Amino acid sequence: MASEPKKNGVLKTLQSVLAAMFGVQSERKRNEDFSSGKPWRYVLLGLLMAFFS
């Protein structure tokens, strides 16, 4: 059976955005983020984190 891409929840998305902002996100995790999840979550959380930092 082919494995389906995992869906990212809000907490996983927040963790990815924080890791990306600090520059410590692994290549594997970045590829996983780009292949799953909803792009608007990353954009929205990224903008909010940048605004409130």
Looking at residue 47, its pLDDT comes to 94
**Each residue's pLDDT expressed in tens, for the chain with a length of 53 residues:** 455 555 668 888 889 999 988 989 889 988 888 888 788 888 999 999 999 88
8-44: buried (b, 16+ CB within 10 Å) or exposed (e) per residue?
Answer: beeebbbebbeebeeeebeeeeeebbeeebeeebbee
Residue 2 lies in a domain: no
Is 29 within a domain?
Answer: yes
- In this structure, is residue 45 part of a structural domain? yes
What is the reported pLDDT for 1?
47
**Global confidence as pTM:** 0.71
The residue segments making up the domain with residue 39 are 10-52
Work out how many domains the chain is built from and give that number: 1
